Amino acid sequence: MVEGQEGVTWTEWVALARTCEAHGIPKLFRSDHYLNLGGVAERGSLDAWGTLCALAAVTSTLRLGTLVSPATLRHPSELAKLVTTADRISDGRVELGLGAGWHDREHEAFGFPFADLRTRMDVLEEQLQVVLGNWAGTAAAPFSFNGDHYTLQALDAEPKPVQQPHPPLLIGGSGGRRSCQLAARYADEYNTVFPTLDDVVTRRRRLFRACEAEGRGMLPFSVMTGVLVGADEAELADRAARLERRLGTEPGSLLRDPPQGWIVGTVERAIEQLQALADAGVDRVFCQHLLHDDLDAVALIGERLAPSVAGSGQTA
C-alpha cells in the first residue's frame, strides 16, 4: 500500500507495479489524497483513479485499488464510473476502498465541502447505495435514488463492471459502530488502520456483531499498517535510517520505539508479528510502504514475507 501524496511520480508507479508482479505481490493499493498530509508542498499527488486506470493498462495480473477513497471528493456516480473504467481496462482487477474522509486542510485547499463527522458518515452511506445502484441498475430495472445528499432518476449505467455482481468493496474505519454497521450492510471487507493486537480483537468483535445484526456471515477483516523490514539487521538499520530522513524523525527512533501497530524487524521478526495478527483474526495485511522508491523492500515483502504467512493471513 503506497501513499500517493508523498510525491510518487508516474515512472515510480510503473516501477512499483512491475516489481509487485515480478515478485509475487498480488495487490497494489494506494491512498486517495490530493494534498500531502504533512504540509510538504513539493510532495504532490497524482489522482488515485487516474493512476489506477493507467496502471491497469500496463499490468496483467496485479489487482489494484484505493485504501480508501474519501466520499467527500467525488460524486458517487462519477466514482462508480471511474471504478468501472478501471475494471474494464484491467479485465476485472480493481477493488474500491471507500471511507468518510478526514483531512480537513485538503478539503479547504481544493474547495471540497467538509461537514461534521455525522454528516460525512451520512454522505458515505448514500455514496455506498449510489455506487452499488450504478453497478446494478438495468434497462429493465433502472436505479433511482432520492436521498438527503444525492438524487438519481431511472439510471441504467453502461457498461457494467467486468466483475460481477460488482468489484469488491472495502469500507475503511477505526472500528466505530457506524463504520462497522455500514460495512456489514454494504461491503465485502472491513479494513482498519494501525491497530494494536488489543485493537484488533475489539474492532473485529464489533464488526462480528454488526454482521450478525445484518443477518450475514463475518466479513473479511483486514489491517493496514506500516511495514519496515530488512533481510538482516544491517539492511533493517539502513532502511530505517532512510525512512527516518524521509519522515523527518529522530535518528534511531523507528527501531527504538516503533509507531503503534507497525510491523518492524528482520524478516523473521516481521513474520512473527504478522502471524500474531493472523492469530487474532486478521485475514489480510496491507503493508504501508513509505519508501516508495525502494524496490528492494517490495521484492523482499513479496519473496520472503508473503509466502511465510500464506494461508494464515495475506499480505498486500
For the segment 185-201, the average pLDDT, to the nearest whole number, is: 97
What tens digit of pLDDT does each residue of 30-64 get?
999 999 888 888 899 999 999 999 999 999 999 99
Q: What is the chain's mean pLDDT, rounded?
A: 96
pLDDT tier, 307 (very low <50, low <70, confident <90, very high otherwise):
confident
Strand partners, 228: 264
All three cell numbers of 46, joined, read 497524482
pLDDT of residue 98: 98
For the segment 79-108, the average pLDDT, to the nearest whole number, is: 97
Which whole-number Å values give the CA distances from 305 to 61, 219, 237, 292, in the listed order? 20, 24, 18, 18
Percent of the chain with pLDDT over 90: 94
pLDDT for 315 beyond 90: no
- pTM of the entire predicted model: 0.95
Domains and CATH numbers, the chain: 4-315 (3.20.20.30)
What tens digit of pLDDT does each residue of 217-266 get?
999 999 999 999 999 999 999 999 999 999 999 999 999 999 999 999 99
pLDDT for 267 beyond 70: yes
Rounded Cα–Cα distance for residues 160 and 139 (Å): 12
pLDDT for 197 beyond 90: yes
pLDDT for 308 beyond 90: no
Percent of the chain with pLDDT over 70: 98
Rounded Cα–Cα distance for residues 146 and 85 (Å): 25
Rg of the chain over all Cα atoms, to the nearest angstrom: 19
